[in-house]
Structure 1
Amino acid sequence: MVQASAPAPEQPTTEPIEAVPVRHTGRWIAAAVFVVLAAQLVHTLFTNPRFHWDTVGQYLFSAPIMAGLRNTLLLTALAMLIAVVGGLLLAVMRLSPNPVLSSVSSTYIWFFRGVPPITQLIFWNFLAALFPTLGLGIPFGPEFVTFDTNKLIVQFTACLLGLGLYEAAYMAEIVRGGILSIDPGQTEAAGALGMSRVQTLRRIVLPQAMRVIIPPTGNETISMLKTTSLVVVIGYYELQTAAQTIYSRNLQTIPLLLVVALWYLVLTSILTVGQSYLERYYGRGTTRTETPGLPSRLFGIGRTKGDRA
């Protein structure tokens, strides 16, 4: 006798889910507000005759402004060179097992980070009031060579000392953070292979630490570019001083300040692009960075994707 099979259970009927997109009303309102504000700003820039854009164009590439711009770039480059070299030495000293070297570095960083740069600039410019002459010789003994401080430390030298030594304290902490980011096991392995501390630092630690050091160093370079405007307090001729000299004669303060602002924006944009390329170069092998467009390079906007299996 053939037994009849049980009927298959009925499958429940499912209705398709209607997906309702999330409405971001707040985003659209915020975007509309920003668009209106941006339109008002552009309208003001082009319709307010008090900006005197003709005067801006007249002085943008003038000889005094170009001379000040050249001095600004020279100060930035040399001050950052002093800062990077000094910061590297101070960071190594700070991490040294020698308590004397570590204490000297810590004291330097504490002092130069604690005193404002404008104060340091004025101090170096008037160092002759404290030491009329500077000499080389035996400590607590005779001097072999003596220099007139006013002739030795001129305005340009005072600017380099005030900016470079101040920035070296910050660079020391940046370099120290980069060195500490490396696994100490690599240093121990290098020591086991017979490498000296200098060889380990140069061949193993610093090449890996650069991807940590480069971003804040780029920011410090951009900051140094703008900090050079502080040398106006001791009368050194740079971009801000050049504009100040001109508008003190023709009383066109706002147009000359716009000239200065435009040049700083251009230089900052160029430095930002250079920083992004260095970051991608030293980040090879650890991250894959999408090729950024021009706005991303100018304003530091970009996405970094981790390595995929």
Structure 2
Amino acid sequence: MTGEQALYAATVADVAEPDSVLLPGHDVPLGRWTTVRRLLPHRQRRLIGAWCFVDHFGPDDVTGRPGMQVPPHPHTGLQTVTWLVDGVVEHRDSLGSHQLVTPGQLNLMTSGHGIAHAEYTPDDHPAGMHGLQLWVALPDETRHGPARFEHHAGLPVRQLGDARVTVVVGRLGDAESPARVDTPLLGAEVLFDGPGGARLPADPAFEYGMLAMDGAATVAGTDLHPGSLLYLGTGRTEIPVDASRPARLFLLGGAPFEEPLVMWWNFVGRSHEEIVEARADWTAGRRFGAVSGCAADPLPAPEMPSVRLKPRDRHGRSG
């Protein structure tokens, strides 16, 4: 048994409910200066609703360091969600968008058929850096559409029990984010300033997952700490959360996404041929446009793997 397999076996044994799975993340370097904990996709769970990619970065002290530096790179077939709890990130894209995102604000970019963007920490930045970078898979009816960028400085906030809940994407109870969604979806920050509990309303048709950004909590009977993602399945009408100390959690949810996906590098498609075409277009300077105002050279696409890429469903099964 490898170290990763031993960790997975240990965490699964600690799960309180049979439909839940505690998924350990792993560290991935993001450029030269930033390391993230990748929580999704996972070998045991590829999606939660249409959420297909979850990176948690920080908390890091970036005093005297450049922080996040991600040069221009392409995307297809997805939305990017940038959510900060500390620091600042500057976004530029090939639509001409230029936007700072700070804690409590949302940057949402819809790639459609193709877009390029860069994200970096400005030279004059705070000492801390902490947040999430997430992807949402677009359904077939909209994934070939035009690219878009949205910035939302104000998002709905509700007090649910002892938790302050910010609805970042989608709807929770009577609170709905203004951000665009193309499938039934939810993303919400759940903040406890001290010990307390909450029962979060849930849609039985949704599957859910929860991660801890800071602190720890017991979610549906399972202890949750930073570094893991708790998959909660479907069929719930509420999600009980209890914290013995201050904690910051993030809730993901959505209707199960049934379209098989091919995910490779920065592309989400449906076939090997689509990925090959997207890579060729990026390499040739087609489709994605240029990111103005960014001095960094665009990221070169890696070489395609030697084996054919196969579409996989939300359980990881190949088609």
Which bracket does the TM-score occupy, shorter chain normalised? under 0.3
Which structure has the bigger radius of gyration? 1
Task: Name whichever structure is richer in helix by fraction.
Answer: 1
Query: What TM-score do you get using the length of structure 2 for normalisation?
Result: 0.21
Query: What TM-score do you get using the length of structure 1 for normalisation?
Result: 0.21
Task: Name whichever structure is richer in strand by fraction.
Answer: 2
